[in-house]
Amino acid sequence: MCADRPKHPTLKATFAERAKGASHPLSNYLLRLMELKQSNLCLSADVTSARELLHLADKVGPSIVVLKTHYDILTGWDYHPQTGTGAKLGSLARKHGFLIFEDRKFGDIGHTVQMQYTGGTARIIDWAHIVNVNMVPGKAAVQALAEAAAKWRSRVNYEVKTSVSVGTPVSDVFDEENGAENDEGNGHLGTREMAAPGPYQRDNDGRKGSIVSITTVTQSFEPVDSPRFGSRIDEGDELVLAGIEEPPYERGLLILAQMSSTGNFMNEEYTQACVKAAREHNDFVMGFVSQESLNSSPTDTFLHMTPGCQLPPDGEEENGAVVGDGLGQNYNTPAKLVGLCGTDIIIVGRGIIKAGDPQAEAKRYRDRAWTAYQKRTSQ
C-alpha cells in the first residue's frame, strides 16, 4: 500500500492545472468539475433497487463528482433507452454535476466485452460515462472496448430535430366581407390539397364549412459536438449545473490496477501491465481504480479513484487505517488515501449509505477529502 514511488508532478498540481494537460476529454471535464464543486468524492451507490438509486443520487448529488453503480444488483431497473433508469440517472447527473461510472469490471475476451458494453438489455454505453475493465484476460480487452466506444461515438454525431406544428388551414376562397387574401406562405404544408372548406367558405347550401386542423411533423438531422441524452424526462431535466457545460459525449475507461481487499492477486507485474495498456490507449483510458497514484512517466496524466475509504466517527482522530468489514475489505481514511497515497478521488459506499443522514455524511466525506487534497497541493 502506497509504495515508495518517485513523486510525480501531478501530486502537487491542482485539479485546474491538470485539466489543461488532460489527454482525455472526460478527464478534462471531470477535473474542472472537481474544482468547481470543490469535491473529489465518488459515491458507490450499492443499493438494491433502482428506486433507491435514483433517490440517493438526487439527495447526495450536490456533494459528489462521480456516481458509481452496479446496475445488475438492482431490482426494478427500467431498460427503456429514453425514459428508463439510465436516462433518469443522466438527468440527475446534469442537474447536480456528476459523471456516472458503471462498475462493470469487464473481464472477458474482446468480442464478448464489446457486446456486453454496447448491447444487451442495459446498453451500458448509452448512459454510463465511465466503465472499468479487469485486465486479467490481457490488454486486448482494452483495445476492444476502445474500438466499441469509438464506433458508438461516430454514430451519435447527429441529433434528430423534430418540429411539430398544429394549425387551421386557410382556404383559397374567403368571404368577401372579411376582405382577406389567401397566403400560401403561412407555413401550413399541403393546405390547399388537404383543407376542407375553410372557416370563411360557404357550402352550396349557404352554410359555413367546418374548421379543419392540420398537424405537420418535420424532421432534420443537425451535427452537434456534444449530443444530449436521448430524451428529456421532465421540465427539471433541462437544468444543468451552473458554471460548467454538459459533459462531452466521449466515453472513458478505468483499468482495475489494484484492489483494497485482503489476499487479492493483483501483484506489481499485473499493475505495471495495466499502466502500459493505459499509456497505449490514453485517448480512451482516463486512469485507474487503484490504491495509490501510478503516474510515473513525465507524460502520465491519469486520474486515480480509490475504494476502501471510511471515516471514523466525527471528532475522532483521522489517521491510519480503519477497521475492515470482516469480509476482506480494508479501509483507509481520506487523509491517508489522498494525502499520502496520492489518489485523486475517494470512493465511499457504506460509510455514506448506512449513515443516519447520508446527505450530511456525504458532505463530511467531501470536506475531509478536499482538505487532504489542499494539503497535498499546499493550497
Q: Which helix (H) or strand (E) holds 164?
A: strand 158-167
Alpha helices in the chain (DSSP H): 15-20, 25-37, 50-60, 85-96, 110-118, 124-127, 140-154, 191-194, 268-280, 334, 350-353, 358-376
Answer whether 278's CB lies under 8 Å from 255's CB.
yes
Q: Which of 118-127, 148-157, 316-325, 360-369 has the lowest mean pLDDT?
A: 316-325
Q: What is the pLDDT of residues 68-80, one digit of tens each?
A: 999 999 999 999 9
Residue with cell 482522530: 317
For helices 110-118 and 140-154, the axis angle rounded to 10 degrees is 40
Higher-confidence position of 349 and 155? 349
354 is catalytic: no
Q: Which CATH architecture has domain 9-156+229-376?
A: Alpha-Beta Barrel (3.20)
Q: By C-alpha distance, which of 209, 220, 292 is closest to 5?
A: 292
Query: How would you classify the pairing of strands 252-256 and 130-134?
Result: parallel
The pLDDT of residue 379 is 84
The rounded distance, in Å, linking the Cα atoms of 347 and 289 is 10
Contacts of 306 (CB under 8 A, 6+ apart): 260, 289, 290, 291, 292, 337, 341, 343, 345, 346, 347
The rounded distance, in Å, linking the Cα atoms of 310 and 333 is 5
The pLDDT of residue 263 is 84
The rounded distance, in Å, linking the Cα atoms of 297 and 6 is 10
Other CB atoms within 10 A of residue 326 CB:
6
Q: Which of 20, 105, 208, 336 is catalytic?
A: 105
Ranges for all domains in the chain classified under CATH 3.20.20.70 = 9-156+229-376
Residue 89, CA atoms < 13 Å, CB-side half-sphere: 30
Q: What angle do CA 64, 21, 240 make, to 5 degrees?
A: 35
Average pLDDT, the chain: 83
Higher-confidence position of 104 and 325? 104
Q: What is the pLDDT of residues 174-208, one digit of tens each?
A: 344 444 444 444 443 444 444 444 444 555 555 55
Q: By C-alpha distance, which of 50, 56, 70 is closest to 128?
A: 70
Q: What is the pLDDT of residues 300-314, one digit of tens each?
A: 999 999 999 999 887
pLDDT bucket at 156, cuts 50 / 70 / 90: confident
